Structure 1
């Protein structure tokens, strides 16, 4: 499974996001400038998007490209499409 194989990289991304969220919390608590707060929010969004992209890519390769069963591919395709639709809302 791709999330197991890429576990260290994915966890590193999550830890980076946690650090960015903590930095945002400090900026808000210290009543820092709006521009700095907005920049931190943008950084968090970029990091989350990068994480989502990496997991989606692994999912597509493992569960669609390399899957031999047509019915399994169809089920996985529908599942990932639902996640993408939800994410883009």
Structure 2
């Protein structure tokens, strides 16, 4: 918060919001990069099954599994079961 205050104060002194906006955009950019990295990680077969079992009642079908993991191929779903 102190860094944001610094940029806000600097912008106020200059009479322009450019520095503060650039600072805030850099923070947003970093957060989006972190989010993209976190969501693009591929789960292992074991991690997928554990995640699925935590959220779904058993017994379950391959169709249920594929509905949960929409980007998974039918061959991978079959191997996972």
Which protein is bigger by CA-based radius of gyration? 2
For Structure 1 versus Structure 2, the TM-score category normalised by the shorter chain is 0.3 to 0.5
Structure in which a larger fraction of residues adopt helix? 1
TM-score (norm 1): 0.43
Identify the structure with bigger relative contact order (alpha carbons < 8 Å, sequence gap 6+): 1
TM-score (norm 2): 0.46
